[in-house]
Every structure is written in structure tokens, then in C-alpha cells.
Structure 1
């Protein structure tokens, strides 16, 4: 079926520029941030678990992608209840991943490739096996005050109960009783992750020391995990009692689920922003010493108004990059071109005019981009991420179109899935499918490991969907990704302005221009063919020349089309240059 575009449905009224003029860009504004989940990237020693030396061995691959910064999910010492997000020692490398010497080697080798290393900072909580928590259980007052404790309440039957109805992200009460102390401790995540008490100045100083320790190791910044959970409400405002949280409107009907409550007392507290601003001050100390700017990124699932507060307030600086998850939370394969435009425009509208946008379509906590949008849109979504104004973020494997792997109930290890105790519906909450090993080749275990059994099973289909085969192919997702990365180095995409259109329900398009140079990117979200008129964009007329196309396209690089009638095939994505 063919349809002809008559009028664009939505028009961005103002060109979206990330900078008012052609400023000198910071390093993170000129590259892609590539997320590596170390446990699943590359195993160097045959134990079935990815490690630091494995990452080092693949730096050339990352360099050839055109990536200039890698962000590593947690590599700190941990009992691995939550696979590194439960940290027992913030100053040490987890044994399975290697040694401090291995880490220093990784940083040094990365620098040789021009690749900067960013670490995951997990400041909200520690592990219940940490020295800090163990000392708290022994009655050490200093470390007791590192955590959030409460006596709980005695019910009408004389039984001790948690202080209130607060729920963990991983189901059930957010409070756990310890006989050694005779109190409950708060854990907004798994039981083995006691929350740190940021109303205690000692905790504030400790985390600043953690930041300084790793910056001194040569890293280029941090991604801050679960930052909007740092503070819970001050119970002194409620007579010394932590109040219940209200039931969420439109909840899922499951009283044990985190989404059952509206978390007005445990998330997005005002003090959180000012704590983050203090961490920015710490990284600025290092810039003052050596002149190199460091990057802070924050993970925040919150309203757009709360997300952009992390940029800072007035003269107070915050993170340079609060993650924009709108292309994860707001849209998927069922979305129209209008929906895509709205999701993109939202962040562009709310961010401060002098700050950068950023584009994220996947991570270790979410179903993979190719699964959520469909494999036919892999190149189109990468065009959006890499060619919109701002910072592009890629979760490992998105450049290949890797999809979620199947992980059986028996093989499931993610606490988000295991805690359901449901062998049928665990897949709805388990994050394991997005964490299956990276697919390097058609060899055993996709070239990830020589082990007989890997920590998670390799996804099926790796014999054809892998980095080696795509690198050796003339046309592949990998080759498209590399071409996009090369194109985004031009002034049009580094400094140029932007506007977007939903040409109809199916076709989303945006224009990037710098002086007389103009490009138009088209993404067809559906299987329907269209002929579109791109002269609805200002200064787009005459002929347009094909610069990049997705792997399904039958168009040829250099082929020309009239701006008034560009044919767009089913699920076709392309980058066109005004001739």
C-alpha cells in the first residue's frame, strides 16, 4: 500500500541548537558514550565471566566504532547479589574482574586509543557484607550512623513490624530487621543493599573520598546510579516517625510491587540535587589541577522537570548529562512518528538552552533496543541517537542490532526476576535477557568465552548476528553505525541547528543544518510505503543525495531524489544531503 504525504502533522517551531554559537566543545560533546556491562563483554580467562582484561583486549573494536568514551557498569568488590550494584568495598576491584593493576592497564591502554573511561558510581547504598555495615552490626557508632535505622512498630498482637509501608524496588518491604542492633535498616533495593545515610556528614565525606580515589586513578568521570533515591524524607518533620507512602494512582494491583506506591518520601527529595552539586564541585577540583574536564552523568527515572534539575541551578553546576530516557519509557515499536517527535521534543524543550541534550535507547536494565523497536528499525533508531543534536549513548550490542536473549527460569540470576518466585511470569521483570554475552563471532559461546558454561547463556542466532560477520560484510548494522559516527563528526552535526517533522503517522524526519550545508534524516516506523515532500522543511528544495541508508534499503549511496517526492520504503531509514 502506498500513501502520499499532504501535510506534516507536527512542526517544531524553533530550531533546536545546543549551543548559541560555534563554541569549542568538551570531549564528551564530540564522541559517543558506549556502555559496557563488564560481566558480559569479553571473558579473558575462561571462567565464563567477562573481565577487565577482556575489555582491554577489545579496545581496538571500540576505537574502530569511533567511540571515544566507555562507561563501565560497576567493577567494585561485591558479593554480587545484585551483580555489582551491592558494593562491599568502594576502593577495590571485584576479584572476578581482575586486579587494580588490570584496571590501571585498561585505563592506560584506553588512553592510547583516545578512549576515556567512565565508572559507575553507586552512592545510594552499600553491601551488607561491607566493612561499614559489619562494623555497624558490632556497635561501632561511626558506622552505625552510616545507615538508616528505625525501631519499627509493635502491632496489636505484640509483634514487631517494619516502621511503615515503604517498598523495595525488588518487591516487599524496604525494611529488614537485624537482631544485632535490634532495629530495622532501610534498603530501597535488595535486602543486601542497605541505604547510606546522607544526613550524616561522615557519609558525605566518605563518598567524596571515593570519587577522588578513582579520579586519581585516571578515570574521566562517573555515571551516578539511582541518584534520586539518595535521600528519604527527614522523619523529624513528622514527629520522629517515617510516614507511609500513598498508594499510586493507576497502580498494578500488586501490593508487593514497588510501583504500587507513590514514592513521595523516598525519591526526588530536594536535598538530593544539592548533594549532586557538591559532587560536581569535587570533579571541578581536578579540572583546576590539570585542566581536563571530567564528566558526571546521572541515572534518573523521574518527571522531566525533576530530571533537568540535575543540570544545576543558576550559577550552581550539576551533572553535564542527566540521562534522557524518553526514547525508552515513552516510545517503542507501537509508536507513531508523532510519538517519536514528541518524545524527542520533550527533552529539547525542558533542558536549559545552554546545556546538551542526550539520547539513550537501551541499557543493562531495559529490554534491548532491537527487541523493543524491532530489528527492522535498528539503523533508523541509531540514526536518531547519533545524528540528533547532543550526546549519543550506545549500550553494547546496539551497533549490531543484538536482541534480548532467552534465559530460562533455571538460568535466571537477576534478583528482579528471582524475587517474583514465579517460573512463568519472571520474564516480565528479569533484566537478564538484556545482559546476555556480547556476540563477537560464530565460534563457541559467540566468541565471548572458552568456558563450558557462561554466567548467562548466549542468545540464539549468534552464529549469524555477531561483530565478526558484520565487520566482514559489505552491508551491516555495524557498517551503518560506523558511517553514522563518521558523519556526526562534521560541523553540521556538531554545531548545526535542528528541526523535526512528523510527515505523517509513520514517517519521522529531522533536518540538521550548518550555514549552507543541510542534511535530512528520515525514519519510517511502519511497513507502509510512502512518498514524502521534504520541502516542508525550510531551505530544502531541488535534489537530495543519499548519504547513508539502512541495510534493508534498495537505494544507492549518491542516488538523487527530488525534494518534493522522495520515495520511502517499508521500515526504510536514510540520511539525505541537499545537493
Structure 2
């Protein structure tokens, strides 16, 4: 037996020991709460949310039932893209606090049983990064840290290397006079793309992961993972090839959607990097006694997304499931939603956790996108379905998009439209407005006497946490009830059954032998429905309401028979069997 085999056996034994101790299963059914730090809670009155503000609200999150918080970037940055342009991966942005503040956050969260997950932005850095400065100067070892290319002369004028377009519009290439070349930026000009064909870059990024894992974070959400690689110019005669036109008549030559991005995203090399990172994460499982989670963001076809789970030989990440964002809208019926759920459950590997995402900092808020009358329904589905639930801050309240005028707009994606009329179609600012804590000035987000970094939404006096905590029924109270149900044996480990009982009624059932069965019902229609669950033969006849949404007539504690359950218009309700299954 070789030394390598012996080492692998020892590592495997260590992992098995951790599993036996119960330390590996937290992530499989976790509730992960995304915090956009700039908009969550301001502790020092400057109008910008910060780390100490997050720490002050940890008791709220723990009481809500959150098992892990994911922080959007808090690293040193010039903030052209509000933290997604990182100048130093190992330093905290001063406006958010200090490393001491972060370490205190870690310590306090640990006391409360809440894990901390960081945002990892591997595709690009800031153009103020020391790496980029050295690469511009071609300092030894840094020459190829970024994607550089020579321009082309057209009628005597130097032009970009090809037709590639930035996600934020216009050319994805920017000329650097010092180096005499163009650098690639698939996002804003201040976000030069790293070159993952350079082994030193891959090692640097592994070292960044280890730096934060050494501090005790529980994992990372990985940003824009499918943008990390571009085709190798060596395969195209030494030049980066033009991308073909998409043919979409709704976009012009400066819009990202104008091209079909076959050379700049979803390249196969990306998966190997993810698998390598998973190996780094695994080093810390036995060291720290907990599983280290990796969740990856890629807006891609499902066949490509599923590959991030692993290749059968090596494990990878949990790829974010954006089906609730992209394939369901406020006109979707019960059958549409069932098909979306079944599609993900069919494609994902049987031994890997599913995940359900209702929103994030890049998308219109769930309540605005789906409609306020579907808030309870969408939250319930994300919590009752198998696997990981990701909640974006404020979704538990049904917080809606705020209005942000052109003059107050900060998002570079909107500013780059140069269009004061239609900018809002590209703006992410409305879904980043401050969290609405109470009815006090600035919704309790900040005590600044000036302006908050983005304006607080106009509806904060009636839509806020304090009001919903005091109300007899509220989105918050329903959400909290369903979080508690998510931790029940049937929802953690039970079999899933999804049924569209009609075009407007969807039932999600979780059954586990020896435990009470759970069934969630959604009525998407404007009329009350008497729902017959008799076709669910393993579900016992006598049921009790254990969570009742804001539009439900049945209330917690009510007893019902499965043959006749009153589900009022727009109601989302959860029932539990009186007897154990099955």
C-alpha cells in the first residue's frame, strides 16, 4: 500500500469520525441568510451599514432560526461596485469596520450558534489592487496575473482586441498606457479579470481561502463563477476571437445581450478550479470539526450548473438554484411551479443537497417580483423543500423594492446606461435599500442626521420588523413558524411529494416513517378552495394547522380532515399529521 493511499485512508477516517459526531450535516438543510452589509444596520451614524451593526442584530437572526449568515463583500475596496471590486482580500473595508470588529462578529455568532459565510469574488479584483499595479508594470511574477491583450489598428487608430462587451455595457477592454496593452474587464472598468491560466493566480486564490478559513469562517459563496475563464488565444491564432451576435433585436451594439458569449463564460476549465477549492475546504473539516460550505453563483443552463456539484470522482460546490428567480413569476400557476421544482430535483445528484433561492442583492425583491400576495407561498416553498434555503435580508418581512431616483442612483450597472429615464431597468439599487427595522427615523437602520447611502423605502412606516412582530398575523411570524418546521425530522430527512391539485393549488408533502407528516398547501387564486388531500394515501386523515399565512382563515391549532381543507384565497398554510407516518 502506497504512502498516498495511507494518507487518503487517514483523511477518510477523520472525515467519517466527524460525520459520526454529527458535525457534517448542518449544511444539508441549512437556512442561510444573506446580509448586504451596507444596507443592514449602521452602528456609527454614517449612513452606511457595518460589521458592528450586523453583530448587534445577531440575537434577532438566531431567534429567527438562521443557521448561517452570508455577508456580501466586506473587504478593502474603492467601492466602484460596492465591494465586488476588491483591492485586498485580507483587509476589511474601513467603512465597514476593522479586523477586530470582524473577529468579534465571529466570536459572538459562534456563541449564538450562527455560522458566518463570506463572499468570495475570484473573477476579478479592483484596478487598485497591488497585484494589478505590479502586473501593469510587468514586475517579475505578476506579468500574467490578469488578462492582457494587444489592441488592433483600424485606419491608423488603436482599437480593442475584439468585440467583447462588458456586462455593464460597452467594450470589455480598457487600454492601459503604462503597459501599452488592453486588460479585460467583464464587469466595470475598475474590475480587471484575473488570469486563471496563470498557476500563480490559482495559488494566490487558494491562499485567500485558507486565510479566512483559518479565522474560523464556515465557508464561502463564490461570485460569478462561470465568468472565470476565457478561451485561450493560443487556440485561435494568438488572438481572442470575436463573439457572434445574439440576434436579439431588443439590444444595441453596446449592450451585453447583443452578443452570444460563447468564449467568455461557462468554460469547462472552471469546474476543475472549483474541485481544487473543494479540496482546500476539506482540509479544514477535520481541523475545525465542521463542514465548510461552498455555494457558487452561475446564471447558466441547468446542465452546466449541475456540473458544479462534482464529476463523480471529485466533489465541488452547491450551485445556486435560481429557478425561483428566473422561471417563476407572478403569473405562474401551481403546475408551472411544480414543474420548476421537479426539474431541479430531477437534475441534481441524488446524494447532494438541493437549494432554493427567492432573491439576492442583484434581483428585484421577491415581494415586488412575485407580488405581495405570494410572499408567504414562496417563503414556505423555499423552507419546506429539501435542502438549503437562502433568504435575502427582508424577505421574511415581504420587504419590497424602494424607489431610487436617477440623482440618487449608485449602481454602476444603472449609471452606465447614461439614461435618466430608463436607468431603473438595469438598476439594482431598489433591492438594496436599507433594512426596515421599525418606524423610527431611517426605519431604524441608521441614526444619521444626513442621508443614508441609499434612501429608505417610502413604505417603512407600515412595513417593518417591529410592526410585524407585534401583529397578530404577519409574514415575519409565518416565516418564523415555517423555519421551526424546517428543522423537524420530516422536513430534514423525509421524502418529498409535490402535487398540483389544480391550476391554483399546490401541495408539498414531506413524510418520514416514525415522525409526523408535514404538508404545505398554497392557493394562488383569488377564491377560497376546499382542498381534498385524499390522493395522498400515506398522509393520515387527521391534521392540525401548525403555520398559517396572513391570508388564511384557518389558524394555528385548528384541526382538519384531509378530505376537506379550507385554503382561502392567496393562503399558504402548513399542516401536520396528528399521528406518525406512515
Which TM-score band applies after superposition, normalised by the shorter structure?
A: over 0.9
**1:79 to 2:78 alignment:** yes
Matched residues in 2 for 1:568 and 1:372: separation?
23
> What SS class does the counterpart of residue 100 from structure 2 fall into?
helix
CA deviations on 1:264-287 (whole Å, 9 max, x unpaired) are 110010100000111111111112
Matched residues in 1 for 2:195 and 2:184: separation?
10
Q: CA deviation at 1:127?
A: 0.4
Q: CA deviation at 1:61?
A: 0.6
CA deviations on 1:301-339 (whole Å, 9 max, x unpaired) are 1011111111111120101x2100000010111111111
Change (3 A) 1:31 1:183: same
Matched residues in 2 for 1:137 and 1:205: separation?
20
Matched residues in 2 for 1:557 and 1:184: separation?
63
Q: TM-score, normalised by structure 1?
A: 0.94
Given that residues 535 and 541 in structure 1 are in contact (C-alpha distance below 8 angstroms), is that contact kept between their aligned partners in structure 2? Answer: no
Taking the TM superposition and a 5 Å limit, the aligned residue runs for 1:29-428 are 29-155=28-154, 157-250=155-248, 252-319=250-317, 321-428=318-425
Counterpart of 2:517 in structure 1 is 518
Given that residues 30 and 387 in structure 2 are in contact (C-alpha distance below 8 angstroms), is that contact kept between their aligned partners in structure 1? Answer: no
Q: CA deviation at 1:496?
A: 0.4
Q: CA deviation at 1:210?
A: 0.5
> What SS class does the counterpart of residue 522 from structure 1 fall into?
strand
Counterpart of 1:14 in structure 2 is none
CA deviations on 1:178-208 (whole Å, 9 max, x unpaired) are 1111111000000000000000011001001
Given that residues 361 and 428 in structure 2 are in contact (C-alpha distance below 8 angstroms), is that contact kept between their aligned partners in structure 1? Answer: yes
Q: CA deviation at 1:246?
A: 1.3
> What SS class does the counterpart of residue 142 from structure 2 fall into?
helix
Q: CA deviation at 1:576?
A: 1.6
Matched residues in 2 for 1:230 and 1:510: separation?
37
Counterpart of 2:543 in structure 1 is 544
Taking the TM superposition and a 5 Å limit, the aligned residue runs for 1:421-570 are 421-451=418-448, 452-515=450-513, 517-540=516-539, 542-570=541-569
Given that residues 329 and 369 in structure 2 are in contact (C-alpha distance below 8 angstroms), is that contact kept between their aligned partners in structure 1? Answer: yes
Q: CA deviation at 1:104?
A: 0.5
Given that residues 248 and 257 in structure 2 are in contact (C-alpha distance below 8 angstroms), is that contact kept between their aligned partners in structure 1? Answer: no
Matched residues in 2 for 1:210 and 1:236: separation?
29
Q: CA deviation at 1:471?
A: 1.6
Matched residues in 2 for 1:124 and 1:193: separation?
9
Higher alpha-carbon deviation: 26-35 or 309-318: 26-35
> What SS class does the counterpart of residue 264 from structure 1 fall into?
coil
Change (3 A) 1:26 1:251: farther
> What SS class does the counterpart of residue 458 from structure 2 fall into?
coil
Matched residues in 2 for 1:388 and 1:520: separation?
11
Matched residues in 2 for 1:420 and 1:538: separation?
56
Q: CA deviation at 1:88?
A: 0.6
Say what the alpha-carbon RMSD is for the aligned residues.
1.5
> What SS class does the counterpart of residue 497 from structure 2 fall into?
strand
Matched residues in 1 for 2:546 and 2:252: separation?
50
Q: CA deviation at 1:541?
A: 5.4
Q: CA deviation at 1:30?
A: 4.1
CA deviations on 1:243-265 (whole Å, 9 max, x unpaired) are 11112254633222212211111
Matched residues in 2 for 1:380 and 1:68: separation?
22
CA deviations on 1:523-547 (whole Å, 9 max, x unpaired) are 1223233222212223235343222
Given that residues 127 and 191 in structure 2 are in contact (C-alpha distance below 8 angstroms), is that contact kept between their aligned partners in structure 1? Answer: yes
CA deviations on 1:410-434 (whole Å, 9 max, x unpaired) are 0000011111011111111100000
Higher alpha-carbon deviation: 266-275 or 536-545: 536-545
Matched residues in 1 for 2:30 and 2:102: separation?
22
> What SS class does the counterpart of residue 317 from structure 1 fall into?
coil
Matched residues in 2 for 1:165 and 1:23: separation?
55
Given that residues 534 and 541 in structure 1 are in contact (C-alpha distance below 8 angstroms), is that contact kept between their aligned partners in structure 2? Answer: no
> What SS class does the counterpart of residue 370 from structure 1 fall into?
helix
Given that residues 230 and 267 in structure 2 are in contact (C-alpha distance below 8 angstroms), is that contact kept between their aligned partners in structure 1? Answer: yes
Matched residues in 2 for 1:337 and 1:37: separation?
32
> What SS class does the counterpart of residue 262 from structure 2 fall into?
coil
CA deviations on 1:101-135 (whole Å, 9 max, x unpaired) are 11101101110101110000000000011111112
Matched residues in 2 for 1:30 and 1:511: separation?
16
Counterpart of 1:576 in structure 2 is 575
Query: Where do 5+ consecutive residues of structure 2 fail to align?
Result: 1-19
Given that residues 278 and 294 in structure 2 are in contact (C-alpha distance below 8 angstroms), is that contact kept between their aligned partners in structure 1? Answer: yes
Matched residues in 2 for 1:228 and 1:285: separation?
24
Structure 1 outlier segments of 4+, above 4 Å? 22-25
Matched residues in 2 for 1:571 and 1:552: separation?
6
Matched residues in 1 for 2:21 and 2:548: separation?
31
Matched residues in 2 for 1:187 and 1:53: separation?
33
Change (3 A) 1:288 1:23: closer
CA deviations on 1:457-476 (whole Å, 9 max, x unpaired) are 00011112111121222321
CA deviations on 1:347-394 (whole Å, 9 max, x unpaired) are 101000000100001000000011111111111111101111111110
Matched residues in 2 for 1:376 and 1:524: separation?
10
Give the paired residue count.
556
> What SS class does the counterpart of residue 313 from structure 1 fall into?
coil
Q: Taking CA–CA contacts closer than 8 Å with sequence separation of 6 or more, which of the two structures ends up with the larger relative contact order?
A: 1
Matched residues in 2 for 1:397 and 1:537: separation?
34
Matched residues in 1 for 2:557 and 2:220: separation?
41
